[in-house]
A and B are shown apart, each in its own frame.
Chain A
Amino acid sequence: MSIRGKLFRKSLSGVAVLGVAALALTACTTTGSTDTNTDTASSGGTITVAVVNDFTSFNNQTPQANLDTNGQVGYLMGNYGSAFSYIDNEFNIVREEGFGTFEKTSDDPQTVTYTLNPENKWSDGEPVTADDMVLAWAIGAGYYNDSTVDADSGEVTTGTTYFEIAASTAGLDTTTFPEISEDNMSMTLVYGTPYVDWELVNPIAQPAHIVAKKAGLGSATELTELLQSLPKGDAANPVAADPTLKAAADFVNTGYDVTAFPTDPDLLVSSGPMVPTGWTPGQSFTLERNEFYVGGMIPKVDKVILRVIPDANAQVTALQNGEVDIINPQASADTLTALENTGADVLTGDQVSYDHLDLRFDQPVFADLAVRQAFLKTVPRQQILDSIVTPVNPDANVLNSQIWVPANAPYDDSVANNGSSAYDEVDIEGALELLAGATPSVRILYNTNNPNRVDEFQAIQESAAKAGITVVDAGSPDWSSLLEGGDYDASLFGWISPGVGSTGIAQIFSTDGGGNYNQYQGTNDDAILTQTTLDPDKLIEIEKRMDKQMFEDAYGLPLFQAPGVFGVSKRVSGVEYMGNQTGPFWNFWDWSVNE
């Protein structure tokens, strides 16, 4: 009996174990969904674009998140460069009137009115109103900041910086608190001093109702009321920070920085043509069409996927293998060859960044105009172009203007008159004549880690030697920190031309401009004048005058625009070349899938 009982107990416990196991097994099963494919039912299809860097933030306008991929996502989401207007690939500002309109109603004082399309909604269904524009203005203008920053540590010593932004507050900083219309659909900005780039102001950023919620306020209107009640900040007389505005600003500054796809849907609210729907960090970012968007940039495709592929050759093979449809790799002759072998469409063109040689006017060797001219005459610009750019972009030409790139309309006219033709060919004879027996020595600062700059330096060194000019290698991997106050006579590096707008001009060509490392003073008055000139024709006239003046003074020489290359799969059409940071995304609404 006892044996039977033992056996019985044993088998019972065996059954119990089996039962538990079966239970666990059923608990661990799925419902057996048959819906396994990606969404192939919808009509527009999916386009995958390779990007080099991963996404880091839904707010690309902060100093830490101002990166190419974030900007491109921002462009698709409508919070950066695509609400009231966008920039096309010929660097025209194209107004997007389906979203809203803006016009300058007065020149003195400069007054601009923005009116939204009342149909506009955020992707969570809330309407887009003037509250959103006021918030964007408050962020962009730095109106409430009253901080003083310690130059060494970068820490704020007194007062408060509310919204931290990557862009400059210049321009908007002279505006007064905007006037809001009765229907809460339009906003009027009055500038204290005229602002040349007013058309580039795009007053849509983060959704005011979300920012208000995160700051503990009830609605967007309450946020506007709060902003209205606060005085303009004055760094000389800092006051205690407003806690609510500070909370709102902190959310805008860092609340959008993410390391995984947010569980909080508030971060995904967008006013633009697309909304984010997924992100696998380091791999892919997915956006889908925003059903609430009423503007003109409605995409034909249902889904745009950004695929992170850092390596240029890996981008080419991924394109060839059909994993991505559009690539924009770092351009090199090898990449171009590989790309041409894939059978994909290849688009080449100029980028907005350009290399240039600048001479320092405060160095004794360049005090004399003849020496400057002689040195510039020896610079083999065509040879440099042929060795660096032509292999990638066979149509490239030497850049001949300090102000414009060839895509800008005034470029040709300005080049014909600015005197750049004196430097078209290397002129050793002419240089020797100008030097009249002198054998100056020139130290050139450049980035030794950049092979292109090294090539440029060597070409210049070799050519200048023929005219008796000794070019000394002052290159350094630390070149950027040496630009200001380093020990050199000339520098070789790149600027990024915005392609559109004129704020960069004062920055580089005015005497006190932060980018004027050359102590050049010849165009100071004109450069400052450009910033307040509202008449476009007059502006071009001033800029042409500056362009000419700089070649007369032998300021330096622009060399070439960096080449760019896109590879586009045959299954996609509508992609066009664009040289600025938006890259292939600039006309995403024209993309379609051929099938």
Chain B
Amino acid sequence: MVSFILRRILVSILILIAASFLMYVMVGYSAQPLQDLEGSNSPNKQQLIDARVALLDLDVPPPLRWVLWLGGVAKCAIPFANACDLGSTISNAQVVDILPNALAATVQLVTFALVLAILLGVTIGIITALRQYSGLDNTVTFVSFFLYSLPVFLVAVLLKEFIAIGFNDFLRDPVIGTGALVAIGIVVGAIWQSLLGGDRRRRLVVFLVSGLATSGVLLLMSATGWFMNPGLGPIPVILLVAAIALGAATLLAGLRNRRALITAGINGAIAIAAYFVLQPLFDVSSAGTLFILAIATIAVGLVSGFLAGGYDRGQNMRVGLVTALLSSAVVLVDRFMQSWGDLLAATNGRPIATVGSKTPGLSGDVWLAGLDTFVHLTLPIIALLLISFAGYTRYSRAGMLEVLSLDYIRTARAKGLPERTVIVRHAFRNMLIPLTTLVAFDVGALLGGAIITERIFAIPGMGSLFNAGLFRGDLNPVMGYFLIVAAMAITFNFLADMAYAGLDPRVRIR
């Protein structure tokens, strides 16, 4: 095992060096960093060219310049010396200084998109697998292939037009028209009836109830000016938390498991109590406070599950954790919504943004800042999400169907296990194994692959750095980008191999 890891690391480093050489030489020969000066009619053109040649060592041919560059990179290996030298850009900014900003912007964008894509994609994939060849399955298959085939720039433009500009225009007079209410009701009803399935009568009831409920709630929201002054309020919070507790217990342990129900109930109750008690603390919260509260939430979830006891404490702890996290999320969402009015005031009543990742000059507490980040990143995240989540639905649907057709699942069913246990315990876990590879690839690819999204939404991330560098013939930032992205790709592939061995006992690493 250790020798395998050492070998892999050594090989990875060699691959990285060789790839960097190829990249450096190819970009070095094709880039024209002097183009803007050579075509200039400035009287001191030659002097400017000399200055740039001296700054970037352009008189050294690219293969030799790569050696110089590698020498600077090698200094990064010296621990704690802070001697990293990745060269400078044409405008004399050290690449080491600009990389962290770019990396942070991309990570912020990509993490959310990736996590959401995995959660949504896997969930929808499983549901469609369980309802194979139903109307829902066919619709989701159609929609996901449709999204998969859309170019990101088109998605981005549509999102900007409808979600940002359209929604902001809507906010000027936030009343939903009757036609829209009916249409939304019909669509939502259709989705729910196909989700829940059953005979014709049951479907009709589900359709009517869910459709009318949705339209009714929207009507209420629009009548009470909810969109200008949103919030959940005590009763919806209690209802939502109760639903979450019930849902978590049902899904993870089954309603017959009393200990799990108790755990979920305790966590739900604590969340509701926290909603009422912690509001004054929230008003003075910083990011640190929220971090501590998050740790406390996790601890409460796990400890309550453990204390509830029973023969399967692990299961209880899972139920406790999921309930605690989801219901505290409800409480947080409610608090974030309370800052909506401040955000509307700071953005001239047009909160959903189409560019950047924060409103310039906005200063406020953690809630306002968080909401501001949310309204800025919503569109790019949806754009990335719509395209990458389609893949996950396909993989997880196929994986689930394959696992469900295996012998051990039939055995499990034959020995009388409830369907919930068969799906959640036996099928779901094994289905996840192939997905680890996919996730690992995606992390590497997304870090470098958001070039177009970043450009369209003006987010100064890794993709922008690469794009701007390539456009100006600026080799060093391009190589900085390459170094990070290549290292990430190699690392995550390595991690995927390790995880595979950990998850699947049939796979051995030597």
Interface assignment of A5: CB less than 8 Å from any CB of chain B? no
Interface assignment of B257: CB less than 8 Å from any CB of chain A? no
In the complex, per-residue mask of A312-346: 1 if CB is within 8 Å of any chain B CB, else 0: 01100110111110000000000000000000000
Q: A307-B360, A323-B354 are in contact. Are A36 and B365 (CB under 8 A)?
A: yes
Interface assignment of A483: CB less than 8 Å from any CB of chain B? yes
In the complex, per-residue mask of A152-178: 1 if CB is within 8 Å of any chain B CB, else 0: 111100000000101111100000000
The reply to whether B353 and A28 contact each other, CB–CB distance below 8 Å, is: no
Q: Which residue of B lies closest to A55 (CB)?
A: B91
Q: What residues on A are CB-neighbors of B90 within 8 Å?
A: 64
In the complex, per-residue mask of A500-536: 1 if CB is within 8 Å of any chain B CB, else 0: 0001101110000011000000000000000000000
The reply to whether B54 and A284 contact each other, CB–CB distance below 8 Å, is: no
> What is the distance, in angstroms, from A17's C-beta to the closest C-beta of chain B?
10
Q: A29-B286, A259-B98 are in contact. Are A508 and B93 (CB under 8 A)?
A: no
Q: Which of A152, A311, A323, A480 has the most CB of B within 10 A?
A: A323
- From A290-298, A373-381, A399-407, A488-496, the one touching the partner chain is A488-496
**Complex Cα spacing A354 to B210, Å:** 64
> What is the distance, in angstroms, from B159's C-beta to the closest C-beta of chain A?
10
- From A77-85, A232-240, A275-283, A364-372, the one touching the partner chain is A275-283
Interface assignment of B247: CB less than 8 Å from any CB of chain A? no
Interface assignment of B315: CB less than 8 Å from any CB of chain A? no
Q: A278-B361, A282-B105, A321-B160 are in contact. Are A515 and B41 (CB under 8 A)?
A: yes
Interface residue count for B (Cβ, 8 Å)?
83
Q: Which of B50, B101, B346, B456 has the most CB of A within 10 A?
A: B50
The reply to whether A317 and B161 contact each other, CB–CB distance below 8 Å, is: yes
Interface assignment of A33: CB less than 8 Å from any CB of chain B? yes
A154's partner among B53, B345, B468 (CB-CB below 8 A) is B53
Q: What residues on A are CB-neighbors of B285 within 8 Å?
A: 28-30
B32's partner among A303, A322, A478 (CB-CB below 8 A) is A478
Q: 7 A-B contacts, Cβ less than 8 Å apart?
A: A32-B284, A164-B51, A168-B43, A169-B44, A283-B458, A305-B360, A309-B458
The reply to whether B45 and A514 contact each other, CB–CB distance below 8 Å, is: yes
A153's partner among B35, B54, B283, B342 (CB-CB below 8 A) is B54
**Complex Cα spacing A278 to B363, Å:** 12
Shortest beta-carbon contacts, A-B, top 7: A282-B460, A28-B288, A154-B50, A154-B53, A480-B38, A284-B360, A154-B54
The reply to whether B44 and A170 contact each other, CB–CB distance below 8 Å, is: yes
Q: A321-B164, A321-B354, A480-B38 are in contact. Are A65 and B92 (CB under 8 A)?
A: yes
The reply to whether A64 and B41 contact each other, CB–CB distance below 8 Å, is: no
**Complex Cα spacing A21 to B297, Å:** 13
Q: What residues on B are CB-neighbors of A260 within 8 Å?
A: 97, 101
A29's partner among B41, B157, B281, B457 (CB-CB below 8 A) is B281
Interface assignment of A263: CB less than 8 Å from any CB of chain B? no
Interface assignment of B368: CB less than 8 Å from any CB of chain A? yes
A514's partner among B43, B354, B368 (CB-CB below 8 A) is B43
Q: What residues on A are CB-neighbors of B353 within 8 Å?
A: 321, 323
**Complex Cα spacing A476 to B128, Å:** 54
Interface assignment of A452: CB less than 8 Å from any CB of chain B? no
B458's partner among A46, A259, A314, A503 (CB-CB below 8 A) is A314
The reply to whether B365 and A30 contact each other, CB–CB distance below 8 Å, is: yes
Instruction: State which residues 149-168 of B face A: CB under 8 Å.
Output: 157, 160-161, 164-165, 168
The reply to whether B98 and A281 contact each other, CB–CB distance below 8 Å, is: yes
Q: What residues on B are CB-neighbors of A62 within 8 Å?
A: 92
Interface assignment of B455: CB less than 8 Å from any CB of chain A? yes
The reply to whether A25 and B55 contact each other, CB–CB distance below 8 Å, is: no
The reply to whether B51 and A314 contact each other, CB–CB distance below 8 Å, is: no
Q: A48-B360, A259-B97, A314-B354 are in contact. Are A281 and B346 (CB under 8 A)?
A: no
Instruction: State which residues 525-552 of A face B: CB under 8 Å.
Output: none
Q: What residues on A are CB-neighbors of B348 within 8 Å?
A: 322
Q: Which of A27, A258, A311 has the most CB of B within 10 A?
A: A311
Q: What residues on A are CB-neighbors of B352 within 8 Å?
A: 321
**Complex Cα spacing A167 to B165, Å:** 44
The reply to whether A32 and B283 contact each other, CB–CB distance below 8 Å, is: yes
Q: A38-B361, A322-B350, A323-B355 are in contact. Are A25 and B460 (CB under 8 A)?
A: no
The reply to whether B51 and A36 contact each other, CB–CB distance below 8 Å, is: no
The reply to whether B91 and A65 contact each other, CB–CB distance below 8 Å, is: yes
> What is the distance, in angstroms, from B146's C-beta to the closest C-beta of chain A?
23
Interface assignment of B40: CB less than 8 Å from any CB of chain A? yes
A314's partner among B46, B98, B102, B457 (CB-CB below 8 A) is B457
Q: What residues on B are CB-neighbors of A477 within 8 Å?
A: 32
The reply to whether A168 and B44 contact each other, CB–CB distance below 8 Å, is: yes
Q: What residues on B are CB-neighbors of A278 within 8 Å?
A: 360-361
Q: What residues on A are CB-neighbors of B42 within 8 Å?
A: 166-168, 507
The reply to whether A25 and B292 contact each other, CB–CB distance below 8 Å, is: yes
Instruction: State which residues 58-115 of B face A: CB under 8 Å.
Output: 58-59, 90-94, 97-98, 101-102, 105
The reply to whether A317 and B35 contact each other, CB–CB distance below 8 Å, is: no
Q: What residues on B are CB-neighbors of A154 within 8 Å?
A: 49-54, 58-59
> What is the distance, in angstroms, from A221's C-beta to the closest C-beta of chain B?
31
A311's partner among B347, B359, B455 (CB-CB below 8 A) is B455
The reply to whether A483 and B39 contact each other, CB–CB distance below 8 Å, is: yes
In the complex, per-residue mask of B457-473: 1 if CB is within 8 Å of any chain A CB, else 0: 11110001000100000
**Complex Cα spacing A322 to B291, Å:** 34
Q: What residues on A are CB-neighbors of B289 within 8 Å?
A: 25, 28-29
Q: Which of B32, B93, B288, B365 has the most CB of A within 10 A?
A: B93
Q: What residues on B are CB-neighbors of A166 within 8 Å?
A: 42, 48
The reply to whether A38 and B355 contact each other, CB–CB distance below 8 Å, is: no
Q: What residues on A are CB-neighbors of B49 within 8 Å?
A: 154
Instruction: State which residues 246-299 of A face B: CB under 8 Å.
Output: 254, 257-260, 278, 280-284, 286
The reply to whether B91 and A314 contact each other, CB–CB distance below 8 Å, is: no
Interface assignment of A37: CB less than 8 Å from any CB of chain B? yes
The reply to whether B360 and A495 contact each other, CB–CB distance below 8 Å, is: no
Interface assignment of B358: CB less than 8 Å from any CB of chain A? yes
The reply to whether A28 and B292 contact each other, CB–CB distance below 8 Å, is: yes
The reply to whether A257 and B363 contact each other, CB–CB distance below 8 Å, is: no
Q: What residues on A are CB-neighbors of B47 within 8 Å?
A: 63, 149, 168
Instruction: State which residues 169-216 of B face A: CB under 8 Å.
Output: none
The reply to whether A63 and B48 contact each other, CB–CB distance below 8 Å, is: yes
B164's partner among A33, A57, A317 (CB-CB below 8 A) is A317
Instruction: State which residues 276-294 of B face A: CB under 8 Å.
Output: 281, 283-286, 288-289, 291-293
> What is the distance, in angstroms, from A482's C-beta to the closest C-beta of chain B?
9
Interface assignment of B34: CB less than 8 Å from any CB of chain A? yes
Instruction: State which residues 21-79 of A face B: CB under 8 Å.
Output: 21, 24-25, 27-33, 35-40, 46, 48, 54, 56-57, 62-65, 67
